[in-house]
């Protein structure tokens, strides 16, 4: 029942997003042929991207926090964001400026960084080892990215614009990438959710109950890399969402929380995108900036609740 209400609320918010922008369009006029390009060519794909990316990051956050048994864990601990940013910088140095090519570089960078973390850690069974290795790899990649950015003003400018997560200019190609990544990750998460719940009792207890711990955690890592990696590739780095969304849906069962958490993530991302369009009208503020601004007080409230 709650999920149905959340979905209807998200649907209503999506309709509102079609009316909001540099040119406000009254709701009764959304189907008018004169605004067809604005509504269906620009705002529909933008709203869908915000929702799918928000859902993906929320899903990745839920998996990360459950897997590491750390409520303050973020999908970036396995190097996803740092890897994406580094390879975008490399691409910029090579002259890659097209948005879709930057997205492709970002996705490959996220995957390579995660593989590097797993290779150095040599295990997925010990969350603490992975977190520590992830911190080291993140710091190294961020330093290398900064070094590349300092080599060229063009690279610096590209990184400055890409490093702020944004839905501006996203089209239906981005929608499909975000949707496919979300669906694949969600299916994997659903399949592995029961084993992940049992794993919450500890690796030894899970193994004693017949759970293959390495297989389960390999699937978990695959799901969060696909979810967070495609989201980062589509819109750029987005903070806070993967950390906060799981806290808004309390409960012990991963399977029961999957859909509600994704709905919360989609709602937060779309709401932030709408607020960003209104704050500096007719200009805009990127939705990741809005999320960062509201993120700190919201997290404090959630922790103290």
Cβ 289 vs Cβ 239: under 8 Å: no
User: pLDDT value at position 123?
Assistant: 60
| CATH code, domain with 166 | 1.10.3470.10
Total domains present in the chain: 1
User: pLDDT value at position 122?
Assistant: 63
Distances (CA, A) of 218 to 129, 136, 223, 258, 304: 15, 21, 9, 18, 34
Tens of each residue's pLDDT in the chain, 305 residues: 467 888 899 999 999 999 888 888 888 888 888 888 888 999 999 999 999 999 999 999 999 888 877 787 788 777 888 888 888 888 888 877 776 777 788 888 888 888 888 777 666 566 677 778 888 888 898 898 888 888 777 777 777 767 788 888 888 988 998 999 999 999 999 999 888 888 777 667 777 777 777 788 888 888 988 898 889 888 888 888 988 889 888 877 888 899 999 999 999 999 999 999 988 877 788 888 898 888 777 777 766 76
Return all residues near 246 (Cβ < 8 A) that are at least 6 apart: 58, 61, 62, 65, 71, 257, 261
User: pLDDT value at position 269?
Assistant: 95
User: pLDDT value at position 62?
Assistant: 93
Residues spanned by the domain of 111: 1-304
User: pLDDT value at position 181?
Assistant: 92
User: pLDDT value at position 260?
Assistant: 94
* HEC string for the chain: CHHHHHHHHHHHHHHHHHHCCCCCCCHHHCCCHHHHHHHHHHHHHHHHHHHHHHHHHHHHHHHHHHHHCCCCCCHHHHCHHHHHHHHHHHHHHCCCCCHHHHHHHHHHHHHHHHHHHHHHHCCCCCHHHHHHHHHHHHHHHHHHHHHHHCCCHHHHHHHHHHCCCCCCCCCHHHHHHHHHHHHHHHHHHHHHHHHHHHHCCCHHHHHHCCCCHHHHHHHHHHHHHHHHHHHHHHHCCCCCHHHHHHHHCCCCCHHHHHHHHHHHHHHHHHHHHHHHHHHCCCCCCCHHHHHHHHHHHHHHHHHHC
User: pLDDT value at position 126?
Assistant: 67
How far is residue 52's CA from residue 173's CA, in Å, rounded to a whole number?
Answer: 13
User: pLDDT value at position 111?
Assistant: 85
Return all residues near 221 (Cβ < 8 A) that are at least 6 apart: 67, 78, 114, 118, 124
User: pLDDT value at position 285?
Assistant: 87
Distances (CA, A) of 282 to 40, 94, 165: 20, 35, 19
User: pLDDT value at position 51?
Assistant: 97
Give the count of beta carbons closer than 10 Å to the beta carbon of residue 251. Answer: 11
User: pLDDT value at position 61?
Assistant: 92
223-224-226 Cα angle (round to 5): 65
């Amino acid at each position: 029942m709650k999920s149905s209400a959340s979905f209807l609320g998200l649907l209503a918010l999506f309709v509102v997003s079609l009316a909001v922008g540099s040119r406000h369009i009254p709701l009764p006029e959304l189907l008018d042929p004169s605004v067809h390009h604005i509504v269906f060519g620009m705002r529909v794909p933008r709203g869908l991207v915000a929702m799918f990316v928000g859902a993906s990051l929320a899903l990745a956050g839920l998996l990360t926090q459950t897997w590491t048994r750390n409520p303050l864990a973020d999908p970036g601990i396995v190097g996803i964001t740092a890897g994406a940013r580094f390879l975008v910088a490399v691409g910029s140095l090579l002259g890659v400026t097209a948005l879709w090519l930057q997205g492709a570089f970002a996705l490959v960078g996220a995957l390579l960084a995660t593989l590097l973390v797993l290779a150095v850690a040599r295990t997925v069974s010990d969350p603490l080892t992975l977190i520590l290795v992830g911190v080291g790899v993140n710091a190294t990649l961020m330093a290398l990215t900064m070094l590349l950015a300092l080599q060229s003003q063009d690279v610096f400018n590209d990184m400055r614009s890409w490093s702020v997560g944004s839905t501006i200019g996203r089209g239906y190609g981005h929608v499909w990438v975000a949707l496919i990544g979300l669906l694949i990750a969600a299916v994997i998460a659903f399949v592995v959710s029961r084993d992940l719940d049992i794993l919450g009792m500890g690796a030894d207890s899970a193994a004693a109950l017949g759970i293959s711990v390495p297989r389960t955690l390999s699937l978990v890592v695959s799901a969060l890399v696909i979810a967070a990696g495609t989201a980062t590739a589509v819109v750029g780095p987005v903070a806070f969402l993967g950390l906060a969304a799981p806290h808004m849906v309390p409960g012990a069962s991963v399977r029961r929380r999957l859909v509600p958490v994704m709905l919360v993530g989609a709602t937060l991302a779309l709401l932030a995108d709408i607020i960003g369009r209104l704050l500096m009208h007719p200009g805009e503020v990127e939705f990741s900036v809005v999320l960062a601004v509201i993120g700190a007080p919201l997290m404090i409230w959630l922790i103290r609740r």
